Structure 1
Amino acid sequence: MRLVLTGGGTGGHIYPALAIGREAAEREPDSSLLYIGTTKGLESRIVPNQGIPFESIDITGFRRSLSMENVKTIVRFLQGVKRSKELLRSFKPDAVVGTGGYVCGPVVYAASRLGIPTLIHEQNVVPGLTNKFLSRYADAVAVSFADSLPHFSGKRNVLHAGNPVASMVAKANRSEGFKSLGLPEGTPFVLAVGGSRGAKALNEAILEMLPGLESLADVHFVFVTGERYYEEALARLQELPAKVKGRVHALHYINNMPEVLSAASLVVSRAGASSLAEITSLGIPSILVPSPNVTNNHQQPNAESLAVAGAAVMILEKDLNGGALLSNLSAIMKDRSRREAMAVAARKLGMPKAASAIYEQIKGILK
């Protein structure tokens, strides 16, 4: 299979595309991949490190208010379509897969104009503007959440497949997770992570909460601060009581997140689609604090889908503080039967075969 992948801006768009590409390469070892992104997005650094050929186009997103910048964006879009057509004619793909972000717009649209089969994947419950636009032209749509299906009711080939990053974590080695943290296997620990860059509001609530961990004598706490907040967090942690300090492990970043995640007893996290796909694939209970600083507030519906199913507790950022976090965390960690019920509910939502399902959907449009 010759496959073009496109998606950019954030890891939430990039890693699903890479997971689909990896599935195709595993199923058909003679496959050829090409990734089309922008030089400004994270994909320009992440994709080449994966050994996948990378080409770029120049494109920006639309602003949500009347602006001359939108006129420039239309011009860039048309230029992007032209550049994409050149790349597609040269590579001659069997199919094009878009996973969101404004770079997908000209690439998937160009493919549809050239008669190349196309599939788009939507990670969030509420679709982004680009995927709403592209759904008119794509031959197939795959979604991560069942709640997304009504948004694509006009399409025939729509599949609730899950998020393909779930397939990447499904085989994570739990023992390696404990080992990398220097904890004896089986140690109960809470993993708190606000994304690769950290989340200030979440970090503040955690730091406010940590002294209260004295009431959870056997529980360790793995605190992923994000690089920009790491030094400040370390200084604050020195003020903790000795009984707590020895059980708090502060890191600015985790390179082996699937392994660490698979070993966690409970996760405190934002509600990005890829994070939730990993959590549910592994069946981990969670406390979710959706970021209010994302387009369309899309993390809140993501978190609500897990909370309604009983797999997570959702705390809105406006209600977040150390007391609220400690209260919910303690209630879950002190109630093993509740933790197990949440894990079962999470696992029911998890779709570890998502990448395989999407691969089969691509094969279907090729026929």
Structure 2
Amino acid sequence: MQRKVIIAGGGTGGHIFPAIAIANALKKIHPDTEILFVGAKGKMEMEKVPQAGYPIEGLEIAGLNRSNIFKNILLPFKLWKSLRQSKKILRTFQPDVAIGVGGYASFPILNRAQKSGIPTLIQEQNSFAGKANMILGKKAAKICVAYDGMEKFFPASKLVMTGNPVRSSISQSVIPKPEALQQFGLRTDRQTVFAVGGSLGAKSINEGLTPLLSSFAEKNIQLIWQTGKPYYETALAAAAPYGEHIKVYEFINTMDAAYKAADVVLSRAGALAIAELCVVKKPVIFVPYPYAAEDHQTSNAMNLVNKQAGLIIRDSEVGAQLGNTLFSLLQNKALMEQLENNIAKLGNPNADETIAREVLTLIK
């Protein structure tokens, strides 16, 4: 039997990589499954999804601009247009089920699918649900979640605890630590920190690390630093005198090696980053991005902090606290072990397959 599935959503790597992981898991279970992605025109998914080998349709949709109200004037028109496009895509492709992974493009498709009687499944990645998902959740058949307490946002009877999907390159990585360190030109007899601010970098993390670079060298600690594009040149210049200890990258494609090389990770608190950190079992200091919708990154991080599975520094306090928190953690072996053990309990390397099986139960 031919199964047809639409996967809608995107906008950031945090939405796209889990969506591709679900698609791959569906193909693994039933190789003849036909999958169509729907994303937002001009966004990252229009490039990343075809690279992963799947077709994608783009909608004329944009998110609410929270910083400039005037940029929202065309929103109602764009939403109306994307709802019409969604209707046409559904009529042409005729899916058995539609999956929404969050991001602007998931709303029009799932809204129209629900109106057409097509079963829908929502994959809510965060511990604080987005408004669009809360509206869609009322009529969704199932809602796959990664955090406890989600009945605050959704009907409890529809919730399935699955965890967030993680790229197989990370969940199934077998690279040994010495080899991972060697890839970055680092030594095996020093502690190593991996700092990562999401695919675009993190201003506060970057600016907080810069004055600490001399301390890394003095304390004989190594740093793998993914800066993102805007800060790359500045970081490169700042790190030049400490070349042996500080390795600067605009973007890292071999995330499995970067995680494996690290003794401690400094990270934003997006859902994908957290899912990966739980699977790779690393002590982590979170610096949540404070402007994420509904401040969901702080909510995500606190969910782990309350389980003694991570530390947190507020974005505005990085300058004052980063050095002290980071260097004292590296000296505290007992705390590092505790964080590692507790975060390991929260990882689910098979979340993609669990979600894929939930999707298949909706196909009649």
Q: Same fold (TM over 0.5)?
A: yes
CA distance in 2, matches of 1:338, 1:71: 50
Give the alignment partner of residue 38 of structure 1, picking from 34, 37, 40: 40
Contact kept? 2:282, 2:340, Cα under 8 Å: yes
Counterpart check, 1:191 vs 2:194: yes
Counterpart check, 1:47 vs 2:45: no
Contact kept? 1:98, 1:121, Cα under 8 Å: yes
Kindly state the Cα deviation for residue 71 of structure 1 after the two structures are TM-superposed: 7.2
Kindly state the Cα deviation for residue 215 of structure 1 after the two structures are TM-superposed: 5.4
CA distance in 1, matches of 2:109, 2:363: 18
Kindly state the Cα deviation for residue 69 of structure 1 after the two structures are TM-superposed: 7.1
CA distance in 1, matches of 2:77, 2:64: 11
Kindly state the Cα deviation for residue 183 of structure 1 after the two structures are TM-superposed: 3.4
Superposition CA RMSD, Å: 2.3
Change (3 A) 1:203 1:137: same
For residue 121 of structure 2, give the secondary structure of its aligned residue in structure 1: strand
State how many pairs are aligned.
Answer: 360
Change (3 A) 1:258 1:72: same
For residue 231 of structure 2, give the secondary structure of its aligned residue in structure 1: helix
Number of the residue aligned with 1:339: 336
Kindly state the Cα deviation for residue 279 of structure 1 after the two structures are TM-superposed: 0.2
For residue 146 of structure 1, give the secondary structure of its aligned residue in structure 2: coil
Give the alignment partner of residue 360 of structure 2, picking from 352, 359, 363: 363
Amino acid across the alignment from 1:355: D
CA distance in 1, matches of 2:199, 2:78: 30
Higher mean displacement: 104-113 or 160-169: 160-169
CA distance in 2, matches of 1:69, 1:325: 35
Amino acid across the alignment from 2:283: P
For residue 26 of structure 1, give the secondary structure of its aligned residue in structure 2: helix
Contact kept? 2:9, 2:40, Cα under 8 Å: no
For residue 228 of structure 1, give the secondary structure of its aligned residue in structure 2: coil
Change (3 A) 1:254 1:145: same
Deviations 1:76-118 (A, max 9, x none): 3333223212212222222111111121111011111222111
CA distance in 1, matches of 2:64, 2:132: 10
Kindly state the Cα deviation for residue 238 of structure 1 after the two structures are TM-superposed: 2.9
Number of the residue aligned with 2:288: 290
For residue 226 of structure 1, give the secondary structure of its aligned residue in structure 2: coil
Amino acid across the alignment from 2:307: A
Unmatched 5+ residue regions in structure 2?
Answer: none
CA distance in 2, matches of 1:214, 1:57: 49
Number of the residue aligned with 1:131: 133
Give the alignment partner of residue 316 of structure 1, picking from 314, 319, 326: 314
For residue 142 of structure 1, give the secondary structure of its aligned residue in structure 2: strand
Contact kept? 2:127, 2:147, Cα under 8 Å: yes
Change (3 A) 1:211 1:26: same
Kindly state the Cα deviation for residue 239 of structure 1 after the two structures are TM-superposed: 4.4
Contact kept? 1:149, 1:160, Cα under 8 Å: no
Number of the residue aligned with 1:20: 22
CA distance in 2, matches of 1:325, 1:312: 14
Number of the residue aligned with 2:230: 228
Change (3 A) 1:197 1:75: closer
Kindly state the Cα deviation for residue 214 of structure 1 after the two structures are TM-superposed: 4.5
Deviations 1:40-74 (A, max 9, x none): 22111111111111112212334679978767433
Contact kept? 1:258, 1:278, Cα under 8 Å: no
CA distance in 1, matches of 2:343, 2:60: 39
Kindly state the Cα deviation for residue 26 of structure 1 after the two structures are TM-superposed: 1.1
Number of the residue aligned with 2:279: 281
Deviations 1:294-335 (A, max 9, x none): 2221111111111111111100012111x5212211222112
Contact kept? 2:60, 2:78, Cα under 8 Å: yes
CA distance in 1, matches of 2:237, 2:65: 40
Contact kept? 2:37, 2:54, Cα under 8 Å: yes
Counterpart check, 1:160 vs 2:161: yes
Change (3 A) 1:142 1:88: same
Kindly state the Cα deviation for residue 293 of structure 1 after the two structures are TM-superposed: 2.2
Number of the residue aligned with 1:143: 145
Amino acid across the alignment from 2:250: H
Change (3 A) 1:313 1:64: closer
Unmatched 5+ residue regions in structure 1?
Answer: none
Give the alignment partner of residue 253 of structure 1, picking from 241, 251, 254: 251
For residue 9 of structure 1, give the secondary structure of its aligned residue in structure 2: coil
Identical-residue share of aligned pairs (%):
33
Number of the residue aligned with 2:185: 182
Change (3 A) 1:357 1:168: farther
For residue 290 of structure 1, give the secondary structure of its aligned residue in structure 2: coil
Change (3 A) 1:167 1:142: farther
CA distance in 2, matches of 1:309, 1:286: 13
Contact kept? 1:167, 1:355, Cα under 8 Å: no
Contact kept? 1:166, 1:350, Cα under 8 Å: no
CA distance in 2, matches of 1:231, 1:64: 29
Counterpart check, 1:207 vs 2:210: yes
CA distance in 1, matches of 2:309, 2:323: 18
For residue 230 of structure 2, give the secondary structure of its aligned residue in structure 1: helix
Contact kept? 2:121, 2:144, Cα under 8 Å: yes
